[in-house]
Chain A
């Protein structure tokens, strides 16, 4: 059974700081997605990565997919209070969809 581990579990930083969160899998990802979930809402997709070594940027967010397709990182530059939320990584296979437990990020003004 595939295990997805996200670290850190909690992260509290000041506005303007940079941060990186991680997602590691016990097996190769079919495809990796990052979602953000805000309180009282369902997760919303940020990015999908499929190819090993892939790097995608979304404004101040940079997503990296490991060469071996077993790990990924999400880096946020100059964090803002609006970045606060639960960041989830997920492996989306054809018949198996698994989520990590998430990193809960708090950005203080």
Chain B
């Protein structure tokens, strides 16, 4: 079984709709991250969490919110989706400690906003 899972894997929605993407991990890691990937732009950090209830903004947090109610789960919400939020979204986890701990990525969620 995969250590980091994301649901759904694909989602098509309309402008203005509220969307939630879920991430679950069985690695026992404290740190979790949400990234989006766009062609030519690489991965950009949206939010990250170092522990339950700990939330930190990343490079591009506007238009997104997150929730970390349990160590194993980190959800990303788009309160009112817009077309330029169409992208591939990845969740990742890492151990506590120095910043250069390996990040373990989920398989991604492809989101299309019409």
Contact = CB atoms under 8 A, between A and B. Distances in A.
Interface of A: 4, 6, 9, 30-31, 33, 40-45, 48, 50, 88, 90, 92-102
A57 to B, nearest CB: 18
7 contacts: A9-B40, A31-B98, A41-B108, A45-B102, A45-B103, A90-B43, A97-B33
Main secondary structure of the interface of A (DSSP, over half): loop
Contacts of B41: 101
Given A33-B100, A42-B92, A94-B98, A99 B43 contact: yes
Contacts of A98: 45, 59
A31 B99 contact: yes
B97 to A, nearest CB: 10
B15 interface: no
Contacts of B92: 42
Nearest to B105: A42
Kindly name the residue among B4, B90, B101, B103 whose own CB sees the greatest number of chain A CB atoms within 10 A: B103
B98 A43 contact: no
